Chain A
Amino acid sequence: MALQSLDIKRRSATTTPSPRVRATLEIAKLIDLSKCIGCKACQVACMEWNDLRDVVGTNKGVYDNPADLSARSWTVMRYAEVEPAPGRLEWLIRKDGCMHCSDPGCLKSCPAPGAIIQYNNGIVDFHQEACVGCGYCIIGCPFNIPRLSATDNKAYKCTLCSDRVAVGREPACAKACPTGAILFGSKEDLLEHSGGRIADLKERGYRNAGLYNPSGVGGTHVMYVLHHADRPELYSGLPRDPGISPLVVLWKEIAKTVMGIGLGAAIVGGIVHFLTQGPNEINEEEEETL
C-alpha cells in the first residue's frame, strides 16, 4: 500500500490517474563523491533502518563488501582504483543503489498494477506485496539495480527511505554519513548547492568536475557530484548516458499499440467477413451427389 502522506505520480501497469491532490516538494539525495571516505556508514545505516542482514560473503580481495547489490543489500560502496591521467592514481568510491529516475525503466516494464510506485516527490518505491516476481524491472532498469530475492521471489531495492521521508526525516544513509557527503533536501536546493561544490572542485584542479543527473532518464533523485563528470564510467561503470533501452520501449509501448490494432482488426475482420460472405458450406444437392 502506498504511504498515505505521499502522493503518487505514477503507478506500474495502471492506465487511470493515481491519487495526487497535493503539490509535493520534489526531493533528492546529493552524493558528493569528492567528500566520500568509503567508511560504509551508509551501508550499515541502511541495513539498520531497514532491518536487513545479508548473508556473510567472501573476501574478494577488494574493499567491496558485499560484492554486489542484493535483495538484502540495497546500497553498496564500490571502490575503483583508476588512473585518470598517466601516473596519477585515484581511488574513486561510489555509493551504488537506486537512482530514483524521473522516467523509471523498472516502472515502465512492470506488469503488476501497483507493484512499483513513483511518488510525487520523486521516490520510486517497490511494493513487494503486489510484486509477482517476473523480474521485468531488472530488464527495464538502465542502472542494473533491482534484485529478486531467492527467499520470496520479490524484487527489492533502495526505497530512498520513503517511510522516513513520509514523516519528514532524512534517509538513514544521509543521517549516518560522517563527512556530509550525502545530502538530502529539495532537488532545487541541492542543484543549487552542487553548483558551489563543483565550482570549488574546479578551483582545486578538477577541471571536469560536474553533476551527474542524467537527462536520458529525465534526471534522477539520487545525484552525484563527480570529480570526473566527463568520464562517469571511471566510477565502477557508472553509465555515461543512461536511458531506457530502445528494446524496452519497443516491448512496452510499440508492441502494445501494434497488438491492440492487430487483434482488433482480426476480430472485426472475421465478423465482417462472416456477415457479408456467409458460411463456407456445402448445399444439400452437392451432398446428395455421393
Chain B
Amino acid sequence: MNVNVAGLAVWGRGLTSYDDLLRVMQTGGLPDGAEFIAPKPEAIPSRERRRAGLMINLAVTLAHQACEHAGVDKSLVPSVFASGMGDTDITDYMCRKLAQPDKMLSPTKFHNSVHNAPSGYWTISANNRAPSTFVGGYDYSVGAGLIEAASQALAANQPVLLVAYDIVNRPPFSEICPAGESFGAAVVLAPIDWPAAGAGLNLRMDLVLESVAAASDTQPSPGLKQVAAGNPSAVSLALLEQLAAVQEGQDDRAALKLRAAPQLELHLGICPAAG
C-alpha cells in the first residue's frame, strides 16, 4: 500500500507538539524535569468534558492536533483509534466495584467503558459522522492500526486519521502490561494524489506486510525511547522520528518495521511526497 502522510501529533512526557519532537531529536533527550502534562481538550463540549477521563482526553487531543497539522476537515475525516490495553482506569473501576457486595455502577463510567469511547467523544467534538472504529491489537496495536487506516484511506480515497494511545497502567494491571507512563501519537494518512493542504507533513509512505518467525519493532533513538518505555503505543515513536527526519530534510528516505501480529511485520518506507 502507498499513502501520503499529511500530519502527525504526539503526546507524552516532555512531548506535546511536533516542535517538541524535533527538539528532543535535536538534543538527544528530554529536558530535565520533563513531565507528562494531562491533556485538556477544549474542543470537547463542556457537558461531555466533565465525563471524560485521561484516556479519552489524550486520544481526543491527539485527534484534533493531527487534523490541524495535516490541514484536513475535522468533520469529514474517517478515524481509526487503536490501543493495546484500552482504558485500564475504567476497567479497574468496573471490576473493583463488581467484586463488592454493592455492585451499582456509574452509568457514565459504564458508557465510557466501551473501547470506542474516545471515538465517540472525538466524533461529538468534531461533529463528524464519518466511519470511526477502534482496533485492539495488544502489543501489535500500532502496526495493526496502520494497516487498518492505510487500507481505509485507499479504499475510501480520502484522508484517514489514526490515533494510537495507552495510559499508565497501575497495579494490578502493571503486571499485565508494564506501561509506566501514558503516551499517544496520531498520523493522518491520505491517498497519494491527495493535495497537501496543511503546514504539516508532505511525505510518501509505502507499507508492506512481511511474514516472519518472530516479529520485532524498530526501536526509536535512545532519547525518545525513554519517553514511555513499556507503553504499547510508544513503538510509534520510531515512526514519528523517521517521519520528522525526512520531513525536515535530515534524511532523504527512511525505513523501519513495526509488529502487526506475532508473526507479521509491517515494513514502512518513507520519502518526500514530491520524490
Say if A and B assemble together.
no
Chain A contact residues, CB within 8 Å of chain B: none
